[in-house]
A and B are shown apart, each in its own frame.
Chain A
Amino acid sequence: MTGETILKVERLTKTYPTAAGPLTVLHEVSFAIMAGATCAIVGPSGSGKTTLLGLCAGLDRPSGGTVALAGREIGGLDEDGRARIRNEAVGFVFQNFQLVPTLTALENVLVPLELRGEGGGEGEARALLERVGLGARLDHYPVKLSGGEQQRVALARAFVNRPRILFCDEPTGNLDGDTAHAMVELIFGLNRERGTTLVLVTHDLELARRTQRIIRLRHGAVASDELGTA
């Protein structure tokens, strides 16, 4: 840990309008995560985990409260401002991989750099794909890759822009046991190697226990915030 706060959430609230009236899915959630730390957000279905992840990563706007990411308050930024922060400081791994189906594995990994207008990132992308064990499948399209392989491409993509914080949403949710285990090793391995902050949303308590801190959500509020065993 470096002692710097990378993510600071204060009194974060999210309410959706519904036919039956406003529905509050997050209610005044507050916490802070230090740079380089690993943290898991756990809770039963409907407890607000994914909503919280979306708000922390700047994918959505809060109804109340603030989110400071990498030193910047993102609630006041417009969509393009948040997109810039995501591109510069954030990496994502999703449960359902979210690769662009029309791009090869290598091209998928290169997208964040190309969006930034950076050329010459191909060596880094190739190295990352080598690192996740896909050095021989650079030119394969997602449809030709297994679920585990797709998730490894997604992981390489998440690290290619050297993010300061990595958000993982149920990264092993769609993978079988052995593949999931290998995936977890890769996530934590890369995280350690690159000193990235890791925020993990999961149902899997065993996986959560590998992080330094576990935040439990229940009915949209923080039920407990405890240090893990890792």
Chain B
Amino acid sequence: MSFILKMAWRDTRASRRRLLLYSLSIVLGVAALTGISALGDNLRGAIDSQAKGLLGADLNVTGRREFTEKTIARLRATGGELATSIATNTMADFGNGGRRLVSLTAVEGGFPFYGEVETVPADAYARLREPNAAIIEETAMTQAGLAVGSEIRLGATTFTIVGALKKYPGLSPFTSMFAPRVEVSMAALRGTGLLQRGSLSQHNAYLKLPPGADAEALKKTLRDELRGERLGFTTAEERKEQLGDALKNLFSFVSLVGFLALFLGAVGVASAMHVFIRQRLATVAVLRCLGASVRTSFAIYLVQGLGLGLAGSLLGAGLGLSLQAVLPALLRDYVPYQIAFAVSWRALFTGLGAGVGISALFTLLPLLNVRRVAPLHVLRSGFEDDFVRPDPLRYAVYAAIGAAMWAVGALQMSSWRLGLAFSLGMIASFAVLAGVAELIIWAARRVRTGGLPYTWRQGIANVHRPNNRTALLMLSLGLGTFMLLTLALTRASLLAKLRGLDLGERPNLMFFDVQADQIDRLKEIARREGVPLAKVTPIVTMRLGALKGRTVEEIGADKANTVPAWALRREYRSTFRAALDDTEQVTAGKFEGAAPAGEARAPVSVEAWLAKDLQLGVGDELDFNVQGVVVKAVIGSVRQVDWQRMQTNFFFVFPPGPLDGAPATYAAATRTGSTDEAARLQKAVAKEMPNVSAIDLGFIVRLLDGIFTKIAWAISFLASFTVATGVVVLVSAVLMGRHQRVREAVLLRTLGAQRRQLRQIMLAEYTVLGLLAAATGGGLAVLANGLLAKLLFKVSAVPPWPWLAAAVVMVTALTIVTGLLANRGVSGHPPLEILRQET
């Protein structure tokens, strides 16, 4: 054993720096894996340690209307400390011309019981008790150009900003992008006049339980006792689990990016080992001559292969841990709590294990040849070793690699099917790129290049010369191009869809919470401002009372019931109209535009997915409770709705008539020609109807654009590990062939070739390789984007040609620059000098 280790170490003497460079191929993959895994551990640790702070209480009770006295009395009877809050979305007028939808919130009681509220200045939260004082989220404050002391108008009240909200338990900056939190006192909120009947508001009650109380048991008791109150309950433990599950899914997906980089790096290491072993065949033969067994000689090089993997993995794991300094910044906008840095030994060993294991598996492929080196090699340098005969062990290694890919995918995505899809997708990508490489080699050998200058003929011939690295270059360049271009195209497709919403003649400014007595005045204002309302939609809130003859309570209590509870309990916001919208399509029955006279039940149209959940079909009867009044209905039609259209869509649509007299609010939409026009109209409406909220679709599109850009940047950052691995493998591949290239260059120089000509030969070779690799990777990306757009995102794929052209140009340029840089010095010295140095 000691001889094996000693020999393995000694044998690397002349090539340690080169081997270290080759081991870099897996550094970035291991770094990505370790970094992501460690960050995941830290996040989980943060969730565990801040579990109660995430909710701010032990138990959270939510409702869509004011809590009844019964509810409040029951909550007080728990013996815990109680706090309540009300939140409503409304337009804020910033006074400086800016307006924005905000989440106006007021808290009564000692909430948050756990976690901290952080404001600037620090005493701002306490100052909320002052008359008409407000605090607003810091980011929104900056965006709106506000400062402490600025005034904002909310409903009928003008507030003074006393501070910026930096941190609040459970508040995610990501969700706040749409409607940032503005907090005022409860008395001030009620004074705004925004909590009218029909307005959307969220009511929360928070309980801090006495020590030792079981929140989960209390939740169950309260749910049973307050069943009729239509409340939602969440414990701190549940919130922790929800976040934990979401994080697990996110990290599983993101880790796959790391694994992809690692697999590509492992291919690079194996390829380097292949070249290294070829150079060591003579040594192996000598050792065999001197009496080394097959096992001993194999073990020497296996130790080297493992050492290579270990060196790369150690560097990668170290880099991965330091990555944690960067990754939290990427997640800052999406995570509602502090992430503390701690070394995760689990992540460290996961990264090391994956790095060593996967690189060892790939390295076994070239190492297997060592077993078949004949000692006769020492007598005849041209003796062909027995590498052609089929080797069962080789097939076993291929199978092990496939199984490893599958296992990694299955473990990361917690699904053997998805794992299989991941491994097959990866194997298919590798196979396509390797297949194209073979095709290129085949074509380069046969293509007639007689009409081309000598340097181009020689460059193209290099693509198929023995011991070329064409396949490896194709793989590294192609895979990198594939990943980055897929991301870019997917982002572009999604953004094109979003921007498309703003095009055409569809409305782009919508008003909500318009009361019945305000609708005529709103029409008037819009007409006066030159942008008449295009569409006015009545909205009536209702709940389900009975389905097919059974009350929802009966259905809910039935143990055999499979209708989801949320679908039975939720509040439905329905409308009535005489015709289908252009976003709707009837799939069963007939849309009734009028209620037939004399019929006891109104024919309603139900949305297809909901119909499935409620197990409803045409002809089924149902009762609605419309704010205390029972409205009997029958399913007249089932319709599909394009929910992706940003407009008011509904689960249930009634014909005009049956809902006459029911308390309704209205949504209205118009098309403005410019941002100024939209601002003018919003200002005029806000002045007269402070309770009416407006949504500028252009603003939403810009907001989503920003979010997509951030997400795309975060994913691109991780994908760049694969791309950078591709570049490292590219450099390795070029350096692997350097020895041979030097010999060729020396020969050509001896025969009188100019340095310029040698450079042109390399230029031709790398141009051909870069072009074809980028085109193949790009082709795969176009295909992947087409599939993702159609099957996953259900959008049209953007025309890929400008992207493809840009990718081809950039990747080819990168290949040429890398190739020429890595071959620096080959043509820059006199032949004799190179002969002495290198041969």
Contacts and interface: CB of A to CB of B under 8 A. Distances in A.
A96 B378 CA distance: 8
Contacts of B376: 54, 59-60
B289 A115 contact: no
Interface stretch (A26-34, A68-76, A80-88, A145-153): A80-88
A16 to B, nearest CB: 10
Interface stretch (B11-19, B192-200, B707-715, B762-770): B11-19
A100 B11 contact: yes
B357 to A, nearest CB: 27
Nearest to A58: B375
Given A60-B376, A94-B379, A80 B3 contact: no
Contacts of B290: 86-87, 92, 111-112, 115, 157
B518 interface: no
A50 B380 contact: yes
Interface stretch (A101-109, A178-186, A209-217): A101-109
Given A50-B379, A59-B379, A103-B10, A86 B289 contact: yes
A79 B381 CA distance: 20
A116 B291 CA distance: 8
Contacts of B282: 98
Question: A88, A111, A141 — which one has the most chain B CB atoms within 10 A of its CB?
Answer: A111
Contacts of A115: 3, 287, 290-292, 296
A135 B695 CA distance: 92
Contacts of B12: 102
B14 A102 contact: yes
A22 interface: no
A100 B291 contact: no
Contacts of A117: 3
Contacts of B11: 100, 102-103
B286 A98 contact: yes
Contacts of A99: 286
A102 B10 contact: yes
Given A60-B374, A100-B11, A101-B14, A83 B288 contact: yes
B283 A100 contact: yes
Given A60-B374, A107-B10, A53 B292 contact: no
A96 B383 CA distance: 15
Interface string B288-314: 111111111000000000000000000
A100 B286 contact: yes
A115 B13 CA distance: 19
Contacts of B380: 50
A87 B291 contact: yes
B446 interface: no
A53 B379 contact: yes
Question: B290, B380, B381 — which one has the most chain A CB atoms within 10 A of its CB?
Answer: B290
Contacts of B13: 102, 141
Nearest to B380: A50
B6 interface: yes
B575 to A, nearest CB: 82
B308 to A, nearest CB: 16
A169 B374 CA distance: 17
Given A114-B3, A115-B296, A84 B291 contact: yes
A116 B287 CA distance: 12
Contacts of B287: 100, 111, 115
A170 to B, nearest CB: 10
Contact of A80 (B286, B294, B378, B379): B294
Nearest to A100: B283
Contacts of A161: 291
B293 A80 contact: yes
A59 B286 CA distance: 11
B285 to A, nearest CB: 8
A59 B289 contact: yes
Nearest to A107: B10
A59 B14 CA distance: 28
Contacts of A84: 291, 293
Interface string B363-401: 000000000001110111100000000000000000000
A79 B287 CA distance: 13
Question: B289, B380, B381 — which one has the most chain A CB atoms within 10 A of its CB?
Answer: B289
Contacts of B293: 79-80, 83-84
Contact of B295 (A80, A103, A111): A80
A53 B3 CA distance: 29
B333 to A, nearest CB: 53
A83 B283 CA distance: 15
Nearest to A82: B375
Nearest to A81: B293
Contact of A169 (B283, B291, B296, B379): B379
A98 B378 contact: yes
A152 to B, nearest CB: 16
Nearest to A169: B379
Nearest to B9: A102
Nearest to A201: B379
A99 B282 CA distance: 9
A114 B287 CA distance: 11
A53 B289 CA distance: 13
A169 B380 CA distance: 11
Nearest to A114: B3
Interface string B267-290: 000000000000000110111111
Contacts of A60: 374-376
A112 B291 CA distance: 7
Contacts of A50: 379-380
Nearest to A170: B379
Interface in B591-622: none
A46 B595 CA distance: 106
Contact of A59 (B292, B374, B381): B374
Contacts of A88: 291
Interface string B1-31: 0010011001111100000000000000000
B593 to A, nearest CB: 85
B81 to A, nearest CB: 75
A50 B383 CA distance: 12
Contacts of A98: 282, 285-286, 289, 378
Contacts of A141: 13
Contact of A86 (B10, B283, B291, B294): B291
Question: B285, B287, B292, B294 — which one has the most chain A CB atoms within 10 A of its CB?
Answer: B292
A114 B283 contact: no
A60 B379 CA distance: 11
A87 B287 CA distance: 10
Contacts of B7: 111, 114
A53 B376 CA distance: 10
Question: B14, B283, B376, B381 — which one has the most chain A CB atoms within 10 A of its CB?
Answer: B376
Contacts of A111: 7, 287, 290
A80 B298 CA distance: 12
B289 A92 contact: yes
Contacts of A57: 289
B375 A59 contact: yes
A96 B381 contact: yes
Nearest to B1: A117
Nearest to B372: A79
A59 B379 CA distance: 9
Contacts of B289: 57, 59, 86, 92, 98
8 contacts: A79-B294, A83-B291, A98-B282, A98-B285, A100-B11, A100-B286, A100-B287, A115-B296
Closest 3 pairs between A and B when the two form their complex, measured CB to CB? A87-B291, A102-B13, A80-B293
Given A92-B290, A101-B283, 11 more contacts: A54-B376, A59-B376, A60-B374, A80-B293, A80-B295, A83-B294, A94-B379, A98-B282, A100-B287, A112-B291, A157-B290
